[in-house]
Amino acid sequence: TYNINACTPDDKMIDILNPSLNHDELDVYLFGFQELVPLTTGQVIKTDLTKAKLWEDFLTQKLNSLRKNSKVVLIRSDQLVGILLCVFVKDDLINRSIIRDVKSSSVKVGVGGLTGNKGAVVTRFNLLDSSFCFVCAHMAAGQTNIQERVEDFHSIKNRIRFG
């Protein structure tokens, strides 16, 4: 996961994709971002979804450029204000129905659970006979907010609901 401080993607960020890996050996990619958008009152009320699309397109293009024998597809992307979780899988896994039951949820924990400036986006899926669940969270910052982060963790864990 990355706190991207509301920046837009550019080619200098290719390092987050670890180009030295043999990407054709990888089946699943997950990217979690915090502070995708500036955490302003306006964004909390009506979140700008265009930044998510920029990152989805950037990651799709760059991941596929690093692969020689197969491609990846975005199977889920969910945003809660400044939190974004993107899940990519090798296209063959979709074609053979190996990935199933992809679901997501989000939990707001900002201002007593009313706002999404703090919270989590959660995605789950089945891959063959295994279940996976991934959480991208953005919680209170600073050394003095440890108890608040622990409470937010428990709130997120207890309030996740997959529809």
Distance (Å, whole) CA 73 – CA 46: 28
Contact 124, 133 (CB under 8 A): yes
pLDDT on residue 80:
95
pLDDT on residue 23:
95
Distance (Å, whole) CA 73 – CA 97: 13
pLDDT on residue 14:
80
Q: What is the mean pLDDT of each run of 10 residues along the chain (163 residues)?
A: 89 83 95 92 86 96 95 96 96 89 95 88 96 95 88 94 88
pLDDT on residue 39:
84
- Residue ranges in 15-109 assigned as alpha helix (H): 41-45, 50-65, 91-95
